[in-house]
């Protein structure tokens, strides 16, 4: 069986260095906000082409801390894609803000800039592009609208470490960007971890306070903050793995290009192939009108798949107040998407097998 994602295999190439890093922290006697976090913040900011990185507890907290730092009045509106992982929208709700849901572009499955302007009101304060599956949203158009209406662009880059837009890693960030280092992400810790990346010095300074009880100096509390700190062990793990992020993204890209070139099943819609080198291929998401049969066929031929995501957010119980809303593009995406295995430890032989089996699919076998 080719597993969809085997975290033991993913971390195997880094095992010795990760174990050294953890041991270093254990023996240091310093476990929260120390030199490992500082080093990671410096290096990850540089990797992203930004001035500041603030390590936090997880990706959801990163989004929430950005929204908290901007201090928008309660009831302000934030434009979000209707098809995303629920965390993007939860961050908005959690701050007492109102998510304004937008249908995605049906081809890229990303925020559709042409729909943004018609939804802007005097309450709108921010746009939240989500670089879903590892591909950057159309940042030029989004930034242009945000400038015209004086909105903040807060990006959810939890699936897009290292993705570029017009050859720039910085261009995907917007005013502030949230990253997650959940173990399955392109850069994964051994537990929960996240970061805010921004080039706005005031915002960075405020979030540095907020993640630590609103304080940078012991017992001096400037803001009503929270506790969401990246810990030293996770930072040390991330320091050990960061140098391999770019080469691993390249391997993902190599596999994605083979899928794009060699998969030729007519009923299957592949992701857009227009700029494969800018995409970091966190997930390779195809669409099939009879998804369950396709998934079962792959399973019978030794290939495990996954669905990101089976149920749109407005159909989740958590958001039942939006149940009457209709988002036909979003709903169709959630009915049809299937993620094929794609990760840096997949071998050429496994990729051959996946392509061969997918191309053999027919409803009769
Ligand atoms: C993983 C993810 C998050 C949340 O990250 P956590 O670290 O699990 O809190 C947010 N948005 C998207 C799109 C994600 O994929």
Question: Helix/strand/coil (H, E, C) string of 115-150?
Answer: HCHHHCCCCEEEECCECHHHCCCCHHHHHHHHHHHC
Confidence category of residue 330, pLDDT binned at 50, 70, 90: very high
pLDDT of residue 2: 98
**302, 283, 282, 299: which is closest to 291 by C-alpha?**
299
Report the nearest atom of ligand 1 relative to the CA of 60. 9
- Specify whether 152 is catalytic: no
Q: How far is the CA of 132 from the centre of ligand 1 (A)?
A: 10
What average pLDDT does the segment 82-93 reach?
Answer: 98
| Number of residues that make up the chain | 365
Of 5, 154, 156, 179, the one to substitute when testing ligand 1's pocket (max ligand atoms within 8 A of C-beta) is 156
Q: How far is the CA of 327 from the centre of ligand 1 (A)?
A: 22
Q: Decide: 158 in ligand 1 pocket, CB within 6 A.
A: yes
Token pair recorded at residue 61: 């907290």
Confidence category of residue 85, pLDDT binned at 50, 70, 90: very high
Token pair recorded at residue 312: 């749109």
Residue with tokens 């173990």: 183
Q: Which residues pair with 174 in a beta bridge?
A: 154
CA angle 346, 106, 140 (to 5 degrees): 90
Catalytic, out of 185, 206, 217, 257: 185
Confidence category of residue 363, pLDDT binned at 50, 70, 90: confident
Residue with tokens 């201090």: 71
Gap between the Cα atoms of 278 and 258, Å rounded: 16
Gap between the Cα atoms of 170 and 50, Å rounded: 6
Rounded to the nearest 5°, which phi and psi values hold at 180?
-115, 140
Confidence category of residue 304, pLDDT binned at 50, 70, 90: very high
Token pair recorded at residue 170: 């910085």
SS3 188: coil
Alpha helix positions (H), the chain = 7-11, 15-28, 35-48, 59-70, 86-94, 139-149, 201-210, 232-241, 245-262, 291-300, 328-336, 348-360
Q: Decide: 327 in ligand 1 pocket, CB within 6 A.
A: no
Q: How far is the CA of 159 from the centre of ligand 1 (A)?
A: 7
β-strand pairing of 152-156 with 124-127 = parallel
Q: Decide: 134 in ligand 1 pocket, CB within 6 A.
A: no
Q: Decide: 284 in ligand 1 pocket, CB within 6 A.
A: no
Confidence category of residue 365, pLDDT binned at 50, 70, 90: low
CA 264, distance to chain mean position in Å, is: 28
pLDDT of residue 100: 98
Gap between the Cα atoms of 124 and 112, Å rounded: 17
Q: Decide: 130 in ligand 1 pocket, CB within 6 A.
A: yes
């Amino acid at each position: 069986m080719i597993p969809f994602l085997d975290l033991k295999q993913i971390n195997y190439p880094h095992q010795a260095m990760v174990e050294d890093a953890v041991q270093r922290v254990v023996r240091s006697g310093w476990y929260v906000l120390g030199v490992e976090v500082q080093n990671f913040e410096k290096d990850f900011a540089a990797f992203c082409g930004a001035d500041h990185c603030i390590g936090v507890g997880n990706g959801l907290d990163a989004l929430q801390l950005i929204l908290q730092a901007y201090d928008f009045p309660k009831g302000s509106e934030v434009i979000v894609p209707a098809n995303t992982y629920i965390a993007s929208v939860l961050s908005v709700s959690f701050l007492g803000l109102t998510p304004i849901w937008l249908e995605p572009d049906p081809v890229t499955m990303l925020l559709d800039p042409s729909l943004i302007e018609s939804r802007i009101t005097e309450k709108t304060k921010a746009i939240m592009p989500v670089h879903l599956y590892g591909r950057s949203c159309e940042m030029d158009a989004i930034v242009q609208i945000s400038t015209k209406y004086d909105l903040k662009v807060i990006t959810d880059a939890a699936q897009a470490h290292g993705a570029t837009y017009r050859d720039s890693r910085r261009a995907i960030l917007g005013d502030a960007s949230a990253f997650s280092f959940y173990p399955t992400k392109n850069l994964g810790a051994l537990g929960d971890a996240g970061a805010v990346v921004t080039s706005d010095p005031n915002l960075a300074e405020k979030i540095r306070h907020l993640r630590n009880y609103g304080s940078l100096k012991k017992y001096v509390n400037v803001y009503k903050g929270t506790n969401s700190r990246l810990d030293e062990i996770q930072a040390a793990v991330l320091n050990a793995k960061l140098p391999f992020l770019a080469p691993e993204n390249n391997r993902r890209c190599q596999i994605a290009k083979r899928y794009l070139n060699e998969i030729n099943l007519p009923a299957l819609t592949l992701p857009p192939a227009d700029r494969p080198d800018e995409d970091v291929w966190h997930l390779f998401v195809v669409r099939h009108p009879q998804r369950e049969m396709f998934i079962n066929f792959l399973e019978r031929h030794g290939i495990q798949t996954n669905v990101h995501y089976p149920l749109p957010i407005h159909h989740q119980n958590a958001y039942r107040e939006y149940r009457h809303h209709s988002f036909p593009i979003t709903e169709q995406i959630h009915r049809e998407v299937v993620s094929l295995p794609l990760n840096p430890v997949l071998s050429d032989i496994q990729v051959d097998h996946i392509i061969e089996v997918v191309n053999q699919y027919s409803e009769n076998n």
